[in-house]
């Protein structure tokens, strides 16, 4: 059975500290993640919102949804290393393990509606694809048995299953690890 919060807040804070120090990184993806995190934390501070896993999740999900809506079709530019979409997916993958089960369950449909359609567009882009796989591997263990009948959830599982046979070793390994996590944590009964 999934706990109400898998990753303690201090562990999340440690991970976020590692990201924050990349503001001057020469690696575009690391810099984009740090800049986005800084912007989100500035927004949370302006709104006098505590920097909790739920607050990060809400801000990142809103950012992701906005980025997707701005890009009617996901282009190479929107998926490049320094772009907002991959940075948002990375930060979501970091934050989601700390989000309480009740929040993940209540936000399942909006999450699926936003994330599942990304699979086809991300297939040629291993890094954001890996972040997306990580997000789903973190969400699945928190779900109840009844939620597994959701078509989009099944579609995401099939996508991960297909990626477990991908020719790229890192993508294949990430998908296989996700499947081990998903299958190793059966859903809670209704």
Rg (CA), the chain: 16
Predicted local distance difference test score (pLDDT) of residue 76: 57
Joined together, the tokens standing for residue 79 give 């998926």
**Whether the Cβ atoms of residue 22 and residue 34 lie closer than 8 Å to each other:** yes
CA 179 – CA 74 distance, rounded (Å): 26
pTM of this prediction?
0.89
| Alpha-carbon gap, residue 108 to 71, rounded angstroms | 23
Q: Comparing C-alpha atoms, which of 182, 142, 144 is closest to residue 160?
A: 182
Could you report the per-residue pLDDT of 80-134, keeping only the tens digit for each? Answer: 777 889 999 999 999 999 999 999 999 999 999 999 999 998 999 999 999 999 9
Q: Shortest CA distance to 80 belongs to which of 136, 71, 15? A: 71
Residue 158 tokens read as 């099939």
On average, the pLDDT of the chain sits at 89
CA-CA-CA-CA torsion sign (152, 154, 157, 158):
negative
């Amino acid at each position: 059975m999934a706990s109400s919060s898998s990753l303690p807040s201090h562990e999340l804070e440690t991970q976020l500290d590692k990201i924050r120090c990349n503001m001057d990184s020469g690696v575009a993806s690391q810099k984009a993640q740090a800049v986005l995190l800084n912007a989100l934390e500035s927004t949370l501070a302006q709104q006098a919102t505590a920097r909790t896993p739920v607050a990060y999740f809400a801000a990142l999900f809103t950012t992701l949804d906005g980025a997707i809506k701005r890009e009617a079709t996901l282009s190479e530019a929107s998926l490049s290393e320094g772009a907002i979409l991959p940075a948002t997916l990375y930060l979501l993958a970091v934050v989601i393990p700390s989000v309480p089960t009740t929040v993940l369950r209540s936000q399942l449909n909006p999450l699926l509606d936003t994330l599942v359609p990304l699979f086809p567009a991300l297939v040629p882009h291993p890094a954001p694809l890996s972040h997306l796989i990580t997000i789903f591997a973190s969400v699945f263990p928190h779900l109840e048995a009844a939620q597994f009948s959701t078509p989009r959830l099944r579609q995401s599982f099939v996508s991960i299953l297909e990626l477990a046979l991908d020719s790229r070793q890192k993508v294949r390994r990430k998908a296989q690890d996700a499947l081990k996590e998903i299958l190793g944590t059966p859903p809670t009964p209704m």
